[in-house]
Structure 1
Amino acid sequence: MEEISWGIAPIGWRNDDIPEIGAENTLSHLLSDIVVAGFQGTEVGGFFPEPAVLNKELQLRNLKIAGQWFSSYIIRDGIEKAEGDFREHCQYLQAVHGDVAVVSEQTYSIQGGRNDVFNEKPHFTDEEWGILCTGLNRLGDIASLYNLKLVYHHHMGTGVQTLTEIDRLMENTEKNAVHLLYDTGHIYVSDGECMSLLQKHIDRIEHVHFKDVRHNVLERCRKEGKSFQESFLAGMFTVPGDGCIDFVEAYHTLLENHYKGWIVVEAEQDPSVAHPLEYALIARKYINDRLLLVQD
């Protein structure tokens, strides 16, 4: 990609982990809202159809697919099982002309459970770290066969969440095989700020999620020991311009380092509370008024 492309994730309309929220929002509804809000594309949601149908809907609206989430269980199930599932994932992404395969190791993950996401995150043993990094290198090589980049998604409630854990992952994987997805919201909630990760690993970042955080809601959820799902349903995450993160600094850093690729607005919210199109427009206005002025 020759420049930055702006996308918005389908998670504001429908949530794969809680299918009942936003179930009324169809693919046509979602894609048309994305056009109205002025974004260039989206990521694949769990409810998206087979490639021929999706490609038709995208072409009608001049939209593109950035990537798609893949839950890996390299530690739990072994690399052979992960490889087979990942090849199918890459075949789908290639068919819809995606750019990145978003991978997150879900062994021991509590992001879908009732655990206190702030104090009960899982940790990997040294042996498990070795298995994970070796496996990710192999998945990264597979992704390249489909003209895709594997981008690792650090995530709350998983074994790769904190900057220290991301450091270890980057140090023990191959630079050309395993890239990094930089998610402002997840690292802010985990570590209390989001710039150190960006500055330290800018050379590995090949995909970006701009997610904002409502700090008062975060602190309340932390105090009450809420789960990940309880926290985002309470409104912990929001779109850029509606929370506490300074995206001007992050965006300027990406420009200074000649980042090329997608920046995808993402915020897990209940669409019955946070109207998807309304929040997409809030994000678009913030991008236009605050971020693109930096570039100009």
Structure 2
Amino acid sequence: MSRAITIGTAPDSWGVWFADDPQQTPWTRFLDEVVEAGYEWIELGPYGYLPTDPQRLADEIGSRGLKVSAGTIFAALHRPDHYDEAWAQVEQVAALTKAVGGTHLVVIPGQWRSDTTGEALEPRELTEEGWQRLATGMDRLGRDIREGYGLQMAFHSHADTHVDTQPQVERFLEMTDPDAVKLCLDTGHVSYSGGDNVDLIRRYPDRIGYVHLKQVDPEVVAKVKAQDLGFGEAVKLGAMVEPPHGVPDMPSVLEALEGLGRDVFAIVEQDMYPVASFDQPLPIARRTCSYLRGCR
């Protein structure tokens, strides 16, 4: 059986970070433009952005010939007594994801700094106790998601969280169950934090369960790091760029993913909240889709 990297996209590439925001592309336009750009696969984005009624969502994506790969939740399981709050999200998002044929649930850890204000919400580094809570909590969550909904959890390391840099990603992988917890390798976030995507793929091949494809502008990132700016401000400054104008080198990443010898979703996410205009995302999406298909 042939193995494939399945390229898709997400609301994030249309400047969507929230369920409802007047600065965001309307959801019907997003779906229409995904098709125009040449994609067939999407993520759901923030819960409530796309219709949450399973039949209506199935009708909307089905009428456009689209398919769903995953949904996304946020889970700050390093915090005491947070599991019930995380599971309440799972019950909504996993159920909807499964109902429309998705196979993965992307889990983003809690941020220590606000995306919107840049304000520090808690210490930048986790205590040993915090690391243990995070690891055991994510193990439990991954098992419960699989048992309850038949979905694979993909943990998304992320800027301004406690699993951000490559050493932190490696520590997290070494502390968690390889079966219950796979890694959503976000190439942009890894590069943003100074990591090496190809190295992670080669050293942890069995943990790569899902991929987000994006690039960063090294000059903008250097400025962001020098000034210790938050990720939200970094995005506004243009830290995330369309390929091939940034890092990491996409052909090298895709070659390493092909070396895994199994199917993998690779979903394009070019953070650009808020978009300058609703006309901005489609031309970028077209070029990105064409470029990535030309790399293979």
The TM-score, its normalising length taken from structure 1, stands at: 0.89
Q: For 1:86 and 1:18, locate their aligned partners in 2 and report how far apart those are by CA, in whole Å.
A: 16
1:192 positional shift: 4.9
8 A contact 1:210–1:240 mirrored in 2: no
Q: Percent identity?
A: 27
Task: Find the counterpart in structure 2 of residue 15 from structure 1.
Answer: 16
Q: Counterparts of 1:117-156 in structure 2 under 5 Å? A: 122-145=124-147, 146-156=149-159
3-state DSSP of counterpart to 1:61? coil
- Aligned to 1:104, the other structure's residue is in SS state strand
| Partner Cα separation in structure 2 for residue 67 and residue 18 of structure 1 | 16
Question: Does the 8 Å CA contact 2:113/2:230 hold for their aligned counterparts?
Answer: no
Q: Letter of the 1:216 partner, please give it.
A: E
Quick one: distance in 2 between partners of 1:271 and 1:11?
A: 10
Whichever residue aligns with residue 45 of structure 2, its letter is G
1:134 positional shift: 1.1
Give per-residue Cα distances to partners, 1:61-108, cap 9 Å, x unaligned: 111111122111223233244334323332121112211111122063
Asked if 2 retains the 8 angstrom alpha-carbon contact of 1:211 and 1:239, the reply is yes
Question: After superposition, what is the alpha-carbon deviation per residue over 1:232-273, rounded to whole angstroms, capped at 9, x for unaligned?
Answer: 011110222232321111100111121412111111114226
1:262 partner SS: strand
Judging changes above 3 Å, is the alpha-carbon distance between structure 1 residues 62 and 121 closer, same or farther for their aligned structure 2 residues? farther
CA contact (8 A) 1:70 1:89 kept: yes
Indicate yes or no: 2:67 matched with 1:61: no
The CA RMSD measured in Å over matched residues stands at 2.3
Q: How many angstroms does 1:45 deviate by? A: 2.1
Distance 1:149 1:36, change over 3 A: same
Candidates 82, 87, 95, aligned match of 1:83: 87
2:227 alignment partner in structure 1: 224
Query: Residue 191 of structure 1 aligns to a residue in which SS?
Result: coil
* 2:291 match: 286
In 2, distance between residues paired with 1:163 and 1:184? 11
Gapped regions of structure 2 (runs ≥ 5): none
Q: Is the 8 A contact 1:110 1:122 kept in 2?
A: no
SS in 2 for 1:57: helix
Name structure 1 gaps, 5 residues minimum: none
Cα pair distance change 1:149/1:288, threshold 3 Å: same
- Give the Cα–Cα distance (whole angstroms) in 2 for the partners of residues 142 and 12 of structure 1: 30
In the TM superposition, what is the alpha-carbon distance from 1:121 to its structure 2 partner? 7.3
Kept after mapping to 1: 8 A contact 2:216/2:247: yes
- Calculate the TM-score normalised by the size of structure 2: 0.89
